[in-house]
Structure 1
């Protein structure tokens, strides 16, 4: 099957003229003759398609190859360190519009998962899906207690397709590392592995349900974000049942205005939600495109975001959070020296990097964009220039931050739609300053005491016993060491006695030999 898939990929690539794109990045010429051979076999090609810009041809090829390649193209569009600007811009246009699979297949998956007929599980079930994506689709239903729910069903037979496509993507990434001068530094195979890991997570709807439940708990007391409740009795690895959410898609700006939604407040709330997820929780929704976000128009939750689709989430360690906060805050304060120092301290830049040179390079990128509204700033171009700077200073791209970068670009897109005059810097700066105060200083010290207090309360009563045990063990070790030292000294004394005796014997033998000679 992999061979047939590879043949299809080669055929689509040649049809879209991707061989020319590959040859542009093969300075060694090692790929020239195989591509010319394939080109000779595929002698007829559409001249109009070949005349299109290379970004358009690449996007069309990925759309033709199917949803997994489309999804990879979406991820790749955020890696402007890997692609030229024109390719990244075109890949950003990819839309994951996948035709739904037959409702009978969805019902069969549900009945097999619960080992019961559909009418015993749900009081009503809408056969027509309301949404369809690459790995699953969603149907509305009603529980027997009257609760309205949304039922997500995994696409049948998708796992082996994904496995084969990921294997092929990894092979392409290997070629990229081998034939592109920047390949090893930019770690394309790690990008593929990161992509594969998140796709694997999406194939387990119990994991997605757990992600949803965690995000709901994180924002339970916040008046910013609504997250659906998960109904665990109706969830399996292939089926996820959650609360049905009612709202206006965030991309429908005219409907939001008609409903009286405050778009400026909504845009500021979006920035706060993003930074709260990243820096407070280290757990963030990493697929925040307009299709996954609604806005509530209900009186009880008016003007609040509604999050959907939790298959892709990102996580950050405490170290990542601290260094990111330092970098963001230093950017907002225009402290480019601190940005350079943080990159070196974190190991993202080589230890021998000159701080003043990296500081000057970052200043040249960031200084022109301050004090300007979002409509006048292109984060894509800023990121591209930062990546060009990183290449110059051999800064390693951190694979765990790819999802964060993708999410930040999504936030930028939403912000442009809702409020083009939004000042992202001034909106985010107070939040980061507050977060930093909670992490360092007296407030941070008190927070750490509160966090560690229960563990200390458990350990304190045991301290005398533990100290006595440690002293007893130390005394025993000292006694054993003293005994061993005495033994070694005795062995040394015996060795000296034997040496002296051997010397006396030797002298006696020499004396006897002398008398005999005389």
Structure 2
């Protein structure tokens, strides 16, 4: 939720003209889709790619500027769409993202009389009977609601232990606006589904459905309150994180009352330094906390922009951390399914190890690549990427020769476009959270190196999962050994059937070849068991030296079987 500048004139609330709003969104989308089709698909197809390339940056800026104006004027979910596009630094060009990045700070507030009327109808009592005092000037305004400071009455203060609170109220008529915007987005999604190059990359109707579900949850403040409490439970034992308490007696579906935890905005470097806090020390902690949510808990804050995170200095000098990350606004939360979370953990470990092949395998596990994709070229490209740019921070990347970046980007882009990528469901919010996290960390520290945060976290994941790795390796060894052990028996069966005449053999040397193959399979079983037991012993050495020594000694038995005389 964005803070409200003091010199902004409040716009008067007016009834929603749903038909005009719906038509305006569709006209905007239809026109820009037609322009994109003409320049990006049709002209290159008839050999006029140079014309399309010549003014691409200007077209992008024009589109972003027009969408920016449309979103500010219409509000509602158009602001959310713009905020999402501004965070897609990985996909969209800077001409678009830079123009839209300020959208979260440009939402005009609703006049207080309209807010008061809605709140009193929702709570069933005059605000004077609910709060000891309330500030009519909003401290924050967002596309779906706005917030005011208030003070609880004495009975509520005694019951909750809180005094100063934030009173958050939905914008009047927002439900109708959300319904219209979602209907328009569904129609645009249907158009995009018919464009082959888009349909191959993403199931747009499914993405719109996910966006709709998130948006409808976000305008239900009972759901937001429950999310806040769940988030607080997830980090109850983490001294780095703070969450505002909820005043349930003064909360409903369209009204939310919570503890006032307003402190220093996370990207306010000057205020942080004035409080004795080094902004560069905040970045790795914030990244680590977001990793914890995404890769361990599976329940994460999907809107971690600077307006939703405060740095709260700890008044207790004996506290483990001199400050806390205080999260607010839990309307947009994401959940990572176990399979996706497992793939993300593998991806993180592979990225920390600069393992291009492992990274591509993890991407496939998550579902970003279709199963039939030929990944050899992508593995080569990722290996080259790690070899040249792996481990560099943003400041170091800026020092690389732009021509080298451009040449690599062209080659890498060709590889990516040749592969059948797809955007799976539940992934939209993950991408948004990671994009915002990267942006916040970079603003805190221009030389912030994401690898410095990824590597220790990946190492911890690797230690935590060592037991699982051993189990998986042992299971794989046993499964392969079982197949290999059954091979001699199957070969004997084939030989028996040959002896009985039930199989005709045209080559008289077949029996000798089969017998030799059976002996080879037996030696392979011995070698396989030796390798598996030896590797298992090495993996558990750090945690259980005794078991490790037993396994390593035991591995000698199958090795002796393989090497004994007469088995050559």
With the length of structure 2 as denominator, give the TM-score of the two structures: 0.68
Distance 1:364 1:442, change over 3 A: closer
Structure 1 gap ranges (5+): 30-48, 446-518
Partner of 1:407: 433
The Cα offsets for residues 269-318 of structure 1, whole Å up to 9 and x where unpaired, read as 11111111112211111111111111113423732211111110111111
Counterpart contact for 1:80–1:384, Cα < 8 Å: no
Residue aligned with 1:156, SS: coil
After superposition, the Cα gap between the structure-2 partners of 1:51 and 1:330, relative to the gap in structure 1 and judged at 3 Å, is closer
Question: Which residue number in structure 2 is paired with residue 174 of structure 1?
Answer: 190
Residue pairs, 1:58-137, within 5 angstroms: 58-79=67-88, 83=92, 86-137=95-146
**Pairing 1:142-291 to 2, within 5 Å after superposition:** 142-145=151-154, 146=157, 147-179=163-195, 181-291=197-307
User: 1:421 maps to what in 2?
Assistant: 447
- CA change 1:439–1:383 in 2 (3 A) is farther
1:304 aligns with 2:319: no
Pick which of 250-259 and 300-309 moved more: 300-309
Quote the offset at 1:367 in angstroms.
Answer: 3.7
* 1:136-155 deviation digits (Å, cap 9, x = unpaired): 11111111234111111111
Query: Post-superposition shift, 1:356?
Result: 3.1
Native 8 Å contact 1:81 1:384 kept in 2:
no
Determine if contact 1:113/1:239 at 8 Å carries over to the other structure. yes
CA contact (8 A) 1:169 1:192 kept: yes
CA contact (8 A) 1:266 1:304 kept: no
* Bigger Rg, structure 1 or 2: 1
Look up the SS of the partner of 2:103 in the other structure: coil
The CA deviation at 1:81 is 7.7
CA deviation vs aligned residue, 1:293-352 (integer Å, no higher than 9, x gap): 111134237322111111101111111111101011101101111122233445442334
Change (3 A) 1:240 1:340: same
Q: 1:385 to 1:219 in 2, by over 3 A?
A: farther
In structure 2, distance between residues paired with 1:116 and 1:444? 62
Is 1:24 the counterpart of 2:44? The answer is no
- Secondary structure in 2 matching 1:321: helix
- Corresponding residue SS for 1:230: coil
Deviation at 1:214, TM superposition (A): 0.9
Change (3 A) 1:156 1:2: closer
Q: CA deviation at 1:24?
A: 2.9
Matched residues in 1 for 2:432 and 2:232: separation?
Answer: 22
- Within a 5 Å distance, the mapping from 1:312-327 to structure 2 comes to 312-327=332-347
RMSD: 3.2
Residues 111 and 384 from structure 1, CA distance in 2 versus in 1: closer, same or farther, beyond 3 angstroms?
A: farther
Distance in 2 (CA, whole Å) between partners of 1:58 and 1:191 is 20
Contact 2:76 2:181 in 1 (8 A): no
- TM-score, normalising length from structure 1? 0.74
SS of residue paired to 2:42: coil
Contact 1:293 1:305 survives alignment (8 Å):
yes
SS state of the match for residue 331, structure 1? helix
Relative to structure 1, the CA distance from residue 50 to residue 404 in structure 2 (aligned partners, 3 Å threshold; closer, same or farther) is: closer
The 3-state SS of whatever aligns with 2:323 is: coil
Shift of 1:119: 2.1
Distance in 1 (CA, whole Å) between partners of 2:322 and 2:423 is: 40
Query: Higher mean Cα deviation, 336-345 or 202-211?
Result: 336-345
**Cα displacement string for residues 70-94 of structure 1 (whole angstroms, at most 9, x for unaligned residues):** 2112223445687556434544443
